[in-house]
Structure formats: structure tokens, C-alpha cells
Structure 1
Amino acid sequence: MSYISIENSDFSLSSEVESNDSYADNLIVINPDSRHSQIYKPQKQRTETPKHNKETMNYRFQNLLGAPYRGGNVVVSNNTLLLSPVGNRVSVTDLLKSETITLPIQSSSNISRIDVSPDGTFLLAVDDRNRCLFINLRRRTLLHRITLKDRVTAVKFSPDGALIAVAAGKFVQIWKSPAFSTDYFAFQLDRTFADFASKITTFDWSPDSKYLIVGSKDLTAKIVCMKKPKKGVTHKPFMFLGHRDSVVGAFFGVDSKANRVLKAYTIARNCYLFSWGFTCANESSDEDSEPRSPGTPVRDGEEENLKKRKKFDAKGDGDDDYDEGYLSRGKWELLRKDGFMQGSAKVTACDYHRGLDMVVVGFSNGVFGLYQMPDFVCIHLLSISREKITTAVFNDLGNWLTFGCAKLGQLLVWEWRSESYILKQQGHYFDVNCVAYSPDSQFLATGADDNKVKVWTISSGFCFVTFSEHTNAVTALHFMASSNCLLSASLDGTIRAWDLTRYRNFKVFTAPSPRQFVSLTADQGGEVICAGTSDSFEIFVWSMRTGRLLDMLSGHEAPVHGLTFSPTNAILTSSSYDKTVRLWDVFDGKGAVETFPHTHDVLTVVYRPDGRQLACSTLDGQIHFWDPIDGLLMYTIEGSRDIAGGRLMTDRRSAANSTSGKFFTTLCYSADGSYILAGGRSRYICMYDVADQVLLRRFQITLNLSLDGVLDYLNSKNMTDTGPLDLIDDDNSDIEEGVDKQTRGKIGFDLPGSLPNRGRPIIQTKCLRIASTGRSFVAATTEGVLVYSVDESFIFDPTDLDIDITPEAVLEALSENQPSRALILSLRLNEDSFIKKCIFALSPEDLPAVATSIPFKYIPRLIELLADLLETSPHLEFIFRWFQGISKAHGISILQSSRNLGPSLKSLHKPMSGQQHLVDTTSSNEYMLRYICSLSAKK
């Protein structure tokens, strides 16, 4: 007996053991993640399972779909980059290219405040637990982190980028910007202003970065100076009085003629805007005296401070050391007070653009207003939703307005001059239940508890169509293989077919009596549609062409939550909570062909892409692999400890002793069938090798402590007599701020008293799908739809490497005009940069000869790289000639190995189908040129 010890979860067995099952009679695999070992005996069926590719295991987080905005403030950088918090991540949207990406950096909880440096290089993000992240935005790298003591309500870079103002409770902290500092602790606290009686709500920098106007809940706004006073002199900040509610907006205004600050605006929560004017004092007046606010009483020690300042000035160095600028030698006065006239609504968001002298205000009733100052002229007053606007901001030029609604997950960019939308995105209100890839892997469909079906473009991350005809939760989705059609099943008792060309619902399938459909599938030819129910335990079969109900398959005694057709024949496979998996012959006869019994409830079932194996998960945390042809159980994977989730706030048992969540609710085979992905009510997604039944890798989908079930051990210090501290919330404080608590997740989270955990979403994975190309997979989680893709820039996996295969040898072959040798050397080295260099170094005349000389074992790798070039390179004709040469030289071998080359060929088909607009344009140009030539010939 041989023993192999695995030291980490990212591993693969040695080639000797993989290639020869007779190497060991029994193989004991010790997995430290699952803390258990199993004995697996070699079986004949293993030779039929393809081996996994190391490159396909190297999945990394790429994007987050389904939630463009979750709350907090948004920032527009460089006039076209829109940054918005999405849970504990930050999403970056390029408004010109219409693309969105999500930074891979995670915070420990939901991000509430962000800001970008003036040059667009650095990003500052603060979460709900007062943890601050300093990120290099261009390189997407975390530089520094720090934890603040109080709750942060506002953060902003100074216009010169040297300072960072942070509103932490009743204090305004001025930090020196870390920038490119490589110090161990780069954050340095410069000053702290504590002249506020209540929590600070907003502030704004002056253009010269010397002053800060700060608004607070104490009904006042104050101007503070950044220059430190002389020792022995106490500086009292100037106060703006007269507000009757919290100040939610305070801004400096710049006079266009004088080119300096001569006005200010403060906005109160009760829908009033105050305009303040500044007048400089005469040179003959006492410059040392501080202008007194209207109605401000004389403070104790104020005259004593004035005497000290005069004493410093009399020495001759007082003006140099204690010069606070012109704002300290003038007078502020209230010019006018204007009301927004919104009834009982409150101001929840506002912004000011100095260049245009305009104010945009968002209200709690979903209305926003755009006003021209200083005359307070209303330019636009529109309603964009029924929920309150949580953020409103100008871009640098002032032509675009960005609005966010946290409760609806809505993000809008509106051009106010042309009154048109630049961006209009809205995520799912509740959790996503199901996802489905299109056959060409370009689109992704999502269905959720909010009764909506959305279709997203994978490359851009945008939703381009939303279907809302369902009246209850969407439970299953399926793309038809032969047509541009999407099927959706819902608890409302309907199966709807959607036309993705005309964006309409063209067919509805229903049962004779109302049923709740929870599973859905269609055969490969698209002739029949099958759906499983959760109430009557039946399977309904319809004709796709006529829409007529063909059959009702009975036999299950519990809800049918798993339903799939075999990829190679017309056998329908179903799984149910009645502990069985049944095979049905839909076309040739009625009744179950065969039944596979289990000892626990079967949660889901999937087929391997070649149809020679099916996998199903059971309630005891096991994955069973069956041979559907012989009806034999091939092997079993015990994964209850691998999928074990964290402890919920309301759990009375520890995570180790709890039995809830220790099973897989969704399974998905890889494109080549070599490994399988499994997820459930846990923060982990497990990847298993099918041939050897070992855990290859675990993906932790989130680090967000704002979700329940992320921690294995709860802190006993957060436990009180009335329950966990995190579940105790002062709702009155949230209502006073005008920011109602935003909760998302399952239905009922927004209903008071509906759940014992007060609406804390529970982390889980509801659906997993792998693209037909095998290059990416998606996971429908509580955080949203996570997209993972293969990233080969961090892996070195050479092929047939020896001492002569070096980058220098590749360059030498190119310099000696040996393109064929150089290409083969680069393929053996397996470095993308060298392979691309060799591809473009060839002339079109040499392509047929070079394609013939390439060994067939390097063809899949070359096809994948050419498919990637087809998406990014402008040399389309040259790349198509490469494909033509490869097809002519290795056409027969490609047909014989079509099964192994399936993912590579599908990855090639994806960019080719995306170039259809180019084909249409060239054809139109060709016909137009022929028409013009024919007209000229007639003349």
C-alpha cells in the first residue's frame, strides 16, 4: 500500500499515480481541509474520465454581476470612470467603453465611503467597521490599511492630493496622503478638529486646500483652517447658523471674476438651501479681529487670545507665522434662503459643481432637482424612482449626473443637457436563484426572487434586457442550444420562452392546474421541454413547437429539484427528495427506465458532457457518481467537511457541531468532464477531481463579515444578555439620518420581525455554471453573481521542457529566420508573449508550411491563443488565415479528437460569433461598391 500526503488544497497527484492505477492497490489521500482521509480503489471506469488540465484549475475572480450598486457614495474619476461600492468590493465602470469591472480587493464588511485622488491613481475605501483601505486603482493593488476609532461618515482628498479629510464621529481628522510611500505605517495624522457638538455629516475642501467647510447634525456649518496657529493662540472656527435640521451639504463657491472663494452654500435636511456671501475687510480695519457670527455671544478668553495675537504681530513675525488667508480677514453674511418645496420629503443626497455654479439635490421620495445658482433657478425636477436617492454627484465637466438608489440596486448616469441616459443599470432586488450561460458563452441569464429575468453581457458586465412578466420567483433557466431562445421556470406556474432577438415573450407553457415549477430542462434538439414541480411531484413534458402538453410523468414522492437530459441520447434524468434518481424515456415509452436509490434526499443531478457519467448530491454531504448505461455506482465523494459553513448569529451550536449546510445544493461538471464544482449553504465552492475523487481547490466566495455564516467562531465579547451585539440595532438613529436600513437577500428580509436575525443575509451559493469554453464559471451567491475566469499570467506550465528550451533560443530562431522552429520552441515553453511574437513574425505565405510542421499535441494550445487574439487583435484576416492553415493541415485529427478539443473549439466560436457585425458591414460595403461600379460602367 502506498501513501501520498497532500500539504495544501491547490494540488494535483503525481503523474506516476495518475497514469498508472496499478501503482498502488489502495490510495489513501489525506486532505487537511476536510480533516479526514478516504481509501479509493482503482476502478475500470476511471480510464474513461479525462484528466484535468492544470491551466483550467487556475481560476481567479474576474467580475461581479447582478449588483451594480448596494449603497454608499459613488465617485466619478477622470470624468468618465464611475466607482461605486458593491458590498465589500468596489466596481469601476468606464462610461466611454461601456464596460464594468469589479476590483478583486475585498474589505472585511460592506464599504460605505469611497474617494479617489485628484489624479485618479489612488482609491480610499472605508467600510462599516471603520477599516480603511488605500488602493492603487490603476494596478488594482492594496497598498495600506488602517482601522479608525469612530464611524466614518465622509472622506475626501484635498484638491492638491496631499491631505485626506475624514469625518469620524464628532471629529474631523486630517491625514497626510500616503501616496507612493513605502513606510511600514504610511498614514500620519496631521490635525484633528473637535469643535463640533454632534456627528459630522458632510464637508468640502476649498480650491486651494487651505480651508474646510464642515456640516454637522448640530444644525451648524463651520469653516476650519488647515494652517496650524501660533503657539498660545486659539483659533475658533467660523460658524454658519440658522439651520433647523441637520446639514447634509456644505460647499465652497468660487467667484468667476475674482477666481477665489467668495460664497458658500449649505443644504439642510428639511429641504432648505442657504446662500452665504463673503466680503473682504478693509485694509484699515483690524485684520487681527476674527469676524463674529450673527448672534454669537462673546466667549470666555476671546479677548485674551486677541491680545496674544496682537503681541505676536507687534514682534514683526506674526503675519508670517499666523496668516490664515483672506477668509480670516472678512465677513460672511446670509444672502438668501430658498426652499425645495418637496412636502414631507427630506434631502438625502446633494452635490455642487463649482465651474457651472449648479446644485443637484436628491430627495427621499425619489425626485431629484437641478438648480442654477446663485439665483436658485430650477432647470430640471424629475422623478427616477419611488425610493429615496442615496447618492447624487456631478462628473468633472458637469454634463453628467450620477444617481444611486441603494434599496433598488439602481445606478443611473444622466446627461442633463440632452436629457438622455448614459448608463442605466439595476441589479436584482433579492438573491439570484439560477444562472445560465448562452451556448456561445457570450451572455449570462439570471433569475431571482424579485420575479425578474435579466440577461448580461459577460465581456462588458452590463445587463441589456430585463424580463418582468413572471409574477413569482424565478427558479430555473435554460438556454436552447439550436436557437436564440431562453426558457425560464417560476413559482407562478408558468414556463416562459423569451426571444433574445426581439426581446419578447413569445410562448407560455402551463399545466392543467396551477403548479410550482422548480426545475427545467430541454432536449438537445429543442423538441420537448420538461419541468419538475415542488407541490404535485410530477414532471410535465411540452412540445416546444406547438406548446401542447405531451405527458405528465409520475413516480416521485417528493419535490423534483433536479432535472436534466443526457447529452448523447433522449434519456431524461430527475432527482427528488424521495431519495431516488430516475431515468425516463420521454420519446419511446412512458415510465421510468431505471431508478437509482440513495439513503438520503437527492438535491441535484448533472451529466458529464460526454453523457457517460452522472453525479448527484445527497443530504448527507456526499456526491455519488453513477454509470447511466450500466446502472452502477462508480464511486462516492464525502464532502460534508469540505463544504461545512460558518456559524450563524442565531445558532446555538458551534459550526463544527452543526449539521446544517453540510451538503451540496448545486453541481456542475467542467467542459471536459475532468473535475466537478460543488456549492451550497457555505462560503466555499469546492473543486473535485472526478478521476481520483480528491479535493483540488476551495474557493472562498467572500470575506464580508456583514453576511451571516462567514465566521467559524463568534466573538464572545459581542454577546449580550439580549443576544448578539450585531443584531441589536437602533432604528430611530437610522430614521433621523434619513438613511433607512438597506437589507437584501431572501424574501422577508425587509419585513419587520420576519426573521430572527433582523435581515442579515446568509452566505450561500445557489447555482453554479461553467461556460462551454471551459475558461470561466459563474456562481450565484448572496453577494451577487461572481465570475471566475482562467488567468494564465500567474502560472508557468511548460510542455516538454528541457535545457535547450529557453526564451533566448526562441529569439535566436526568430533572428535566424526559422519561424517554424521558433513557434514550436515557444509552444513548448508555453509563454503567451513568446507564442504571440512568433505568430506575428510569420508572413502569410509561410503559414501553410508552418501549420503542417506543428505537432498535433500543441494544436489545442495554439487554438486557444488564437481565439484570444481574435477578441483583442485588429489583424483579423491574418488570424483567420491561421485557422485555415491549421484546418487544412490537421483537419482529420481535429475531427477524430473533437471530444477533447471541444472546449478549445467553443472558445474559438465565441469571438467569431461576436464578429458578426463586422461581417455584415463588409458585405454591405462590398454590395455598395459593386453598385457604384455598375453605375459608373453604364455611364
Structure 2
Amino acid sequence: DFRFSNLLGTVYRRGNVCFTEDGFQLISPVGNRVTVFDLRHDRSHTLQLEASYDIEHIALSPDNALLLAVDCKGEAHLVAMATGAAIARQKLPSRVSALAYSPDGDYFAMARDNRVHVYHGPGLERYFNQFKLYRSYYGNRDEVTSIAWSSDSKAFVCACRDLQVRVFSLHKTARLPGCYSLGGFTEDIVGVAFLPDSLNLFAVSSAGFVMLWQCDTELSDLLIKQQQQPQLTDGTGDDNDDSPSDSEDCDLKETKNEENKPGLEKIFINKLRYLKPKKMRLREDAEDSKRVSAVIGCLAFCPGSKQLVCGTEDGRVMLYAVDNCALLLSLQVCDSQVDSVSISPDGLWIAAAGAAHGQLLVWDWRASAYVMRQAGSFNCLRCAAFSPDGGQLVCGYSDGRVRLWSSQSSLSFATLTEHTSCITGVRFCGKRVVIASSADGSIRAWDLGRYRNFRTLVSPTPLQLSCLDADPSGI
């Protein structure tokens, strides 16, 4: 019975990583599959899902029961976390640029081009098509890059490439009949989020500027205008309709006739109003007033602790307090771009992933220690071999690295970097010795007790070795 068991050799390829609600598991897209890392027991397993293309977006339901994964070509997969199998698939007309589950788990939002489509979250009821479209939202003039929900799932906010932030109400309400547009940025918006238990929100630009907007409306005031819910449709009908809805062209106009009250400067006129934003800058050093010099490429927000974690293009991960943008942590994790960051619900663990080296790590910022640090290789895997007992796997890569993996935990526990060229062959000699040949013309042997290169064999004439074999007994 040759069924798929687990995935070794790499831990991250592209897309976003996320924690489970308990914070003890980390979910990472690895090519066209998804791997779950158990941080408490130091092991991992790969789900049975196998997409046609590399997975680019993942979103986990609040009860950790369902995982929504979307590949780079726009095919969505609904996966049961208990079994790891895909229970529903949906081919979408175009690529998905943002994905987010609502906090109550009843809906999930999916952005395609300049539109946001909200679907009903799968429940106990069975449908022929699990992707039931609830409503489509218009009004954005460019591609949506980020989506975030309010804590009660009544509203969501999205950031667009037109440098605007727009707030939408999930249901039609009298306080917010359409969308509310907020601007002021001159650089690309990396991410946006609501503050907990309010409609106050903030957005972060790639240059390190933060804008914080205060809202004069409470979440409880967003009452549903129509008690009758929109009729359910399948995911292939109104989803492709390009006709504008009630919320299109609903940009708010500046106030002209209303008097400004002291301490309350209102810049928009509508039943729901946001005050003039508070603009702050992310600092590069806690004792220095210099702002962040590197470009911010990704971010994540923890509502419970009100902490913001950012990943930069020069390989740094920085943790800030949202209220005053105070720097809490600055960590250099790699020498290339950080492509995705995530923070655990309790705000203690920070996950960072980089596609350049296939690196994935989890850092406990209060204990100043690594919880997990794994790295594959962006270069090709050239050769591999199992140990005699099958408990370990040695892999050779085209960048000259040799990595050792555990078959039980599926985690890498050693990296050997003495070779200077492509690895052409690897073998186990007994249980404690690993040998590898390389295109640099040498054969090296390592002792797995101390991971020491105790012997090097070099050909008398310069040549490239193409293969390797050895006596498995180690004699």
C-alpha cells in the first residue's frame, strides 16, 4: 500500500504561515502541499492535500476544524484538519490576492482583483457546492492586497494598491450603507487590521509609516438594515457578475457645512465617521529616532496583546506595540527577504518564513530562544539515502549542503556545509557515519556523534565526481 506518509527535505516554499488557536502548531505551505508542525512535541506531518500548483494563501477556521488553501492559479481547496483530506474544491475565475476567515467562523472573505467576495463558512449542513457565495463587494479601484475582520465579524477592512483603505459592513446597515474610504499613504500598504472590540483600525505602509484611525461608532451600533438575509447562491453565479452593487462608487465626500467641535476634527461626512488619523513611524532602534530603513514586506497583528510583527526585505523581524509603535524586538533571522510572519494568539511566539533559503523558524521573544528552526534549500535536491534502520534520511543539494532529517519527526537536525560545489551522492556507512561526494572532486566523511568532518578524500587529478557508493557496513 504505497500511500503518501510525510514530506521531508523542505519546510516552506511560498505563501503565508499561520498558528492554530492554541498556538502550539504552525501551518506552512510547502509547494502544492501543507505541513503542520507540532511545536510542543517537536514533530510534523503533511496533510493529504495535493494541489495542482503551489499553494499561495491559507486560512484556518477559528475552531481549527477546516483549512482553506488556495493555489497560485486560483483553485481553492477545503481541507478537514482531522483527516488532512480535501473535502471540497472550487476553480475560481482568477487568482486570489487575499484571504481571511471571520472570527466567528461563519464567513470567509476572498479578494480577486478589485472585488471582495464573502462566502458562507462550511458547517454541518451538506451542500453540493460548499463554496456558497453570500455577497460581493465593490468600490475598490485596484487589486486588494490585505483583508482583516472586526472582532465581532460584522465588518471587514481591505487595503488596495490604489493606496486606499476601505471599510465594509458585512450586512447592509444604516450606519454604513456602502464602503468608507480612508487615504493618506504615498507608499504601498502592506497590511491593515482592526483593533480589538472596536471599529478603530490601523494600516502600515512599506516605508514604515503607521496610520491609526479612531471611529465614532461602536460595534453594537452596526445594526442590520434588512432582517431578511440575501438568498444563497452557488459559487459560480453572481460571483462572476461584473455589474456594480449597492456599495460601488460610495467614496465619502469631505464635510463642508458641519462645524468642527473642539478636539474632534471630522474630515468625512456620513453616518459613520472616522476622525483625522494619527500618523506614526516604526523605529529601527528603541533608543534612536531613525525610522525603519528597510522595506517592510509582510506583517501580522495579535489582537489579544495588541502587538505588531513586521518582516523586512533585509531579513529582519521586528515586534512593536501598536498603541505607541514602541520597538519590543529586533531580530536578524536571515540575509534575504522575510516573505511571511505570524504571531501566536498569546503573543509569545513569532514565526518567520523565507522562500530564498526555504527557511522557517519560531522565536520565543520573551525567553530569547528558538522554539523551532528549520531550513530546506531553494536549490535542487540532487540525492538522498536512508540510514540502515530507516530512522534518518540524508539529502544532498546543489548548493553543496548536506542535511540530515529524522524520519519520525520529519525535522532536520543537522546541516553539513564543508563541500563547495553540487552534491552528487550521499550514503550511510553504518549508523554513525555519513559520506558525500561532490562536483568539487572530493569525498567527505562525517561522524554523526559530533558532526565532525574526520576524513576527506581528494582525487589526484582535478575532476568532478558524478556518483558514490559504499559498503553499508562501514568497514
Written as runs of structure 1 = structure 2, the 5 A alignment for 1:629-668 is none
Q: 1:171: which partner in 2?
A: 115
* CA shift in 2, pair 1:445/1:186, >3 Å: same
Residue 489 of structure 1 corresponds to 437
Determine if the alignment matches structure 1 residue 331 to structure 2 residue 307. no
5 Å matches for 1:585-664? none
Corresponding residue for 1:457? Answer: 406
Partner of 2:86: 142
Distance in 2, Cα, partners of 1:519 & 1:196: 57
Is 1:188 the equivalent of 2:137?
no
Say whether 1:266 aligns with 2:203: yes
Number of the residue aligned with 1:250: 192
For 1:711-750, list aligned pairs within 5 A: none
Q: Once the two structures are superposed, what CA deviation does each residue of 1:317-365 show, in whole Å capped at 9, x if it has no partner?
A: xxxxxxxxxx954533312321445666321110111111111111111
Matched, 1:87 2:31: yes
| Cα distance, 1:295 vs structure 2 | 9.2
How far does residue 105 in structure 1 lie from its aligned partner after superposition?
1.5
Task: Give the Å deviation of 1:144.
Answer: 1.1
Correspondences of 1:890-905 after superposition (within 5 Å): none
Paired AA for residue 385 in structure 2: A
CA contact (8 A) 1:410 1:425 kept: yes
State the Cα distance separating 1:514 from its structure 2 match.
2.1
1:479 aligns with 2:416: no
Residue 382 of structure 1 deviates from its aligned partner by 2.0
The alignment status of 1:66 with 2:9, answered yes or no, reads yes
Separation in structure 2 between the aligned mates of residue 402 and residue 234 of structure 1, nearest angstrom? 36
Task: Give secondary structure in 1 for the equivalent of 2:279.
Answer: strand
Task: Give 1:268's aligned amino acid.
Answer: S
Q: How many residues align?
A: 425
Alpha-carbon distance in 1 for matches of 2:76, 2:456: 51
Checking the alignment, whether the CA contact within 8 Å between 2:338 and 2:352 is kept in structure 1 is: yes
Letter in 1 for 2:410: G
Shift of 1:239: 1.8
**Structure 2 match to 1:279:** 216
The structure having more radius of gyration, on CA atoms, is: 1
Residues 210 and 225 of structure 1 are in contact (CA less than 8 Å); yes or no, is this contact kept in structure 2?
A: yes
Deviation at 1:390?
0.6
- The CA deviation string for residues 538-587 of structure 1, in whole angstroms up to 9 with x for no partner, is xxxxxxxxxxxxxxxxxxxxxxxxxxxxxxxxxxxxxxxxxxxxxxxxxx
SS in 2 for 1:228: coil
Q: Equivalents in 2 of 1:524, 1:156: separation in Å?
A: 51
1:398-422 CA-partner distances (Å, limit 9, x unpaired)? 1100100012100011111111111
TM-score (normalised: structure 1): 0.44
Amino acid at match of 1:271: G
Once the two structures are TM-superposed, the CA of residue 150 in structure 1 deviates from its matched residue by 2.4
Amino acid paired to 1:386: D
Cα deviation, residue 373, structure 1: 2.4
2:302 aligns with one of 350, 353, 359: 353
Separation in 2, partners of 1:89, 1:342: 38
1:235 paired residue number: 177
Structure 2 residue corresponding to 1:405, chosen from 330, 354, 371: 354
Amino acid at match of 2:2: Y
Verify the 8 A CA contact 2:150 2:199 in the aligned structure 1.
Answer: no
Which structure: greater helix fraction? 1
Question: Structure 1: which 5+ runs fail to align?
Answer: 1-57, 255-259, 282-287, 300-326, 528-939
Q: Does residue 1:75 correspond to 2:18, yes or no?
A: yes
Where 1:149 maps in the other structure, the secondary structure is coil
CA RMSD in angstroms, aligned pairs only:
2.3
| Matching residue within 74, 98, 113 for 1:154 | 98
User: Is 2:369 aligned against 1:369?
Assistant: no
Partner Cα separation in structure 1 for residue 31 and residue 186 of structure 2: 34
Q: Deviations over 1:421-459 (max 9, x none)?
A: 111000022111111111111101000101000000000
Change (3 A) 1:109 1:262: closer
How far 1:228 sits from its partner (Å)?
Answer: 2.1
Distance in structure 2 (CA, Å) of the matches to 1:66 and 1:413: 18
Retained in 2: the 8 A contact 1:216–1:248?
A: no
2:113 and 2:143 in contact (8 A); partners too:
yes
Secondary structure at the aligned position of 1:521 is classed as coil
Cα–Cα, structure 1 residues 344 and 337, in superposed 2: closer, same or farther, change >3 Å? closer
C-alpha separation in 2, matches of 1:179 and 1:517: 58
Residue 519 (str. 1) matches residue 462 (str. 2): no
Matched, 1:510 2:462: no
* Bigger strand fraction: 2
The equivalent of 1:4 in structure 2 is: none
Q: Is the 8 A contact 2:12 2:30 kept in 1?
A: yes
Report if the CA contact (8 A) 1:244-1:270 is conserved. Answer: no
Any gaps of 5 or more consecutive residues in structure 2? Answer: 219-224, 226-249, 257-269, 284-289
CA distance in 2, matches of 1:465, 1:239: 51
Give 1:298 deviation, angstroms. 7.2
Change (3 A) 1:296 1:245: farther
TM-score if structure 2 supplies the norm length? 0.85
Contact 2:377 2:397 in 1 (8 A): yes
Counterpart contact for 2:304–2:345, Cα < 8 Å:
no
1:499 lines up with 2:443 in the alignment: no
Corresponding residue of 2:162:
218
- Work out the CA distance in 2 between the residues paired with 1:204 and 1:80: 23
